[in-house]
Amino acid sequence: MENLLVQGVAAVVALAVYFLPSIIADRRKRYDLLTIALFNAVVGWTVFGWLLALYWAFQPNPPKNVAGEIIKSRKIVSMRTFSTMLAERVRLRSSRTRR
């Protein structure tokens, strides 16, 4: 009976270690938890697959709207460029009028 209990505890610990990347992804509220868990279940038996799933679980959440983020960052860059060019033009005009 004692041997069965030790084997049961060892099996639970082994499963917890095996699915550690999935558990970490769940605790970190990853949006792609199901993908990480499936990857961990299928490829996690290899050391490389398990380490890759662990690395993936520790990454920050990807943006929900990637296209929207790209458009937003392009607008910010274009506004900065416009502001810089406008300031340069004002500076040049003011230096011309001083002469």
On the CB side of 29, how many CA atoms lie within 13 Å of its CA?
0
- Low-confidence spans in the chain with pLDDT less than 70: 99
Q: How many domains does the chain have?
A: 2
**What pLDDT shows up at residue 99?**
62
Are both 72 and 27 inside the same structural domain? Answer: no
Are both 30 and 5 inside the same structural domain? Answer: yes
**What pLDDT shows up at residue 38?**
95
Are both 7 and 48 inside the same structural domain? Answer: yes
**What pLDDT shows up at residue 97?**
75
**What pLDDT shows up at residue 12?**
95
Domain that holds residue 35: 1-62
**What pLDDT shows up at residue 36?**
94
Are both 57 and 71 inside the same structural domain? Answer: no
Closest CA to 33 of 41, 25, 43: 25
